[in-house]
Amino acid sequence: RPRKALNEALFFPSEIACVEHIFTPSSPHSCVCFLPHGVETSFSRLLRHILSTSSSLDLCVFAFSNMDLSRAVLALYRKGITIRVLADKDYTAITGSKIGVLHKAGICVRCNANSVHMHHKFALVDGRLLITGSLNWTLQAVQGNMENVLITEEPDLVQPFIKEFHRLWVLNDPA
């Protein structure tokens, strides 16, 4: 019998806690920083879902400046995950944006070139899991705002986002 499709809602601002153990699961108790340890938060749940990627990650995020989320994407890239990033041209130029860092690391990045403002904040994990909501990938959003993120495997929700990502990816081909 097939497993029930995953459906999960996360709310922010997230509690502030150390997320080092999520990046280094082999040595979970090694961190000596001053943040609380061993606490599961909305943000740690979000990070775990992103780091669960095994083959492909498609990102379409207006504002991306969060250090931990950037670290997660770079860690996936180094593992050989196929990553595509659709970003907003104006936000990408802002100090603190991580889009330049991802691009320099070798990740395929496209910016929307037209005047239509790119306001999405979604990710597609392995073409199977949709992560979407009001949350921009910034520290302000994670720690300072009331926000929501919805995580779902429902094909009726995931498939249209896959199609829209493909449409925008082709539309913003700089070639």
Which active-site residues does the annotation give?
119, 121, 126
Six-digit token string for 136: 């921009």
Among 8, 20, 153, 164, binds Zn ion (CB under 5 A): 20
Six-digit token string for 64: 């991306």
Phi-psi label, residue 77: left if phi above 0, alpha if psi -120 to 50, beta otherwise = alpha
Nearer to a second copy, 12 or 97 (CB): 12
Among 5, 13, 17, 18, binds Zn ion (CB under 5 A): 18
- Chain residues in the site for a second copy (CB under 8 A): 7-9, 11, 13, 62, 112, 116-122, 132-135, 140-141, 144-148, 150, 152, 154, 156-157, 160-161, 164, 168
Which of these segments, 28-36, 81-89, 91-99, 124-132, binds Zn ion (CB under 5 A)? 28-36
- In the β-sheet with 121-125, what is the strand arrangement from edge to edge? 108-112, 82-88, 56-61, 121-125, 129-133
Nearer to a second copy, 7 or 24 (CB): 7
Evaluate whether 135 touches 27 at the Cβ level (below 8 Å).
no
Least distance CB 90 / a second copy (angstroms): 12
Backbone angles phi, psi at 158, to 5 degrees: -70, -45
Six-digit token string for 125: 């994990």
